[in-house]
Amino acid sequence: MSSAATATSTSSPFLAACRGEEPEHTPVWFMRQAGRSLPEYKEARAGTTMLEACRTPELVAEITMQPVRRYSTDAAIFFSDIVVPIAAIGVDIEIVPGVGPVVAEPFRSDADAKRLRNLDPCDVGYVTEAIGLLTKELGNIPLIGFAGAPFTLASYLIEGGPSRDHAKTKALMRSHPDVWHSIASRLAAICGEFLRVQVEAGAQAVQLFDSWAGALSEADYRRFALPHSTAALAGVAKSVPRIHFGVGTGHLLEAMSETGAEVMGVDFRIPLDEAAARLPGKTLQGNLDPAAILSDDEPLLAETDEVLRAGRAAKGHIFNLGHGVLPDSDPAKLKLVVDRVHEQSSREASR
Ligand code: 1CP
């Protein structure tokens, strides 16, 4: 690591909290802060498909910077998508506006599993290039790289697109566990490599999104998802802090933290003090209900304060939403939350 990178990491509240150290204020960033609700994002993206945008380094850098400039968040999240590495190895997958990822030929068999070849860093040279641009522009603000976890990615590949019940995925796991493990272990290798590429280019933390793992029972999670998520995160073990997050995963917190992630993301359904009691010594990230951003200022600020209060039970707390920013969110409300978190937690620290 260069001396510049070392100096950056020692002065970042986000990285201090990841390590369970006392930051000067509670760090805050928002999942899906880039894009979606920002008018400057819509302007920058106009006329470019999502995947084209992800392959254009200058545009990626610009969109990644937009929320940092507007909100003064303590971290940036790299503008990309969980399907980028899958498309990069030649799988025919598109991001359809208003729908999400759609796969031309859904995965069903062992022959399909073999379509998942290893990712070569050259396949995603635009990622390395974009992160190079960003580390210059971000200065003291750390960049979070990310990947989708094998279960969540496999669900898109097997269902063919977004799914509410993940029924085909669950049927394949049960009926053909060998095919399942073949698909998921190949995805783990791809995710691990994708995370490594981002870290080598300059990302100072990573987040593994297992957005849909909450659809599994704990027993199924342990059998079908945990080993593959653990393998994906092992790709960057000991180099940077690793955050792990899923939606509706209250019943899986302990199991998900067995992946070895240093930071556990908690969705809005579980109070942070309850999560802290179940995960002693872990830094927690979360967990304001994204819908709270759509409410009036008074209830929004009261809920923000409550998340800060509950977060004090954890070894370290990174303020975030309990899932991604909703598209109708008013950027002014997100700014209000960032300012409140900084103000309240600096006051607390100076007491
Ligand atoms: O802040 C950011 O927006 C950063 C970039 C980012 C991230 C972290 C995008 C851009 N996508 C993601 C991760 C992602 N993508 C996840 C994990 C996080 C989560 O749970 O929200 C998932 C599940 C996806 C898959 C995906 N991509 C969906 C969800 C579909 C479903 O199953 O319901 C959608 C709608 C996309 C497209 C997408 N990704 C990102 C953007 C800005 C968009 C919209 C594309 C557009 O504007 O056309």
Closest CA to 157 of 112, 90, 196, 190: 112
Residue 90 has pLDDT above 70, yes or no: yes
Band the pLDDT of 349: cuts 50, 70, 90. low
Residue 101 has pLDDT above 60, yes or no: yes
Q: Give this complex's ipTM.
A: 0.93
pTM of the shown model: 0.95
**pLDDT confidence of residue 10:** 54
**CA 3 – CA 71 distance, rounded (Å):** 28
Q: What are the pLDDT digits (tens) for 271-296? A: 999 999 999 999 999 999 999 999 99
**pLDDT confidence of residue 37:** 84
What is the CA(57)–ligand 1 centre distance, in A? 18
Q: Which of 41, 71, 74, 81 is catalytic?
A: 81
Question: Residue of the nearest CA to atom 20 in ligand 1?
Answer: 211
Residue 4 has pLDDT above 70, yes or no: no
Band the pLDDT of 35: cuts 50, 70, 90. confident
Domain boundaries, the chain: 3-350
In CATH, the architecture of 3-350 is: Alpha-Beta Barrel (3.20)
**pLDDT confidence of residue 3:** 39
Classified as helix, coil or strand, 279 is coil
- 74 in catalytic set: no
Alpha helices in the chain (DSSP H): 3-10, 13-18, 39-45, 50-54, 57-71, 84-88, 110-113, 125-138, 150-159, 167-175, 177-201, 218-220, 226-234, 253-257, 272-278, 297-311, 331-350
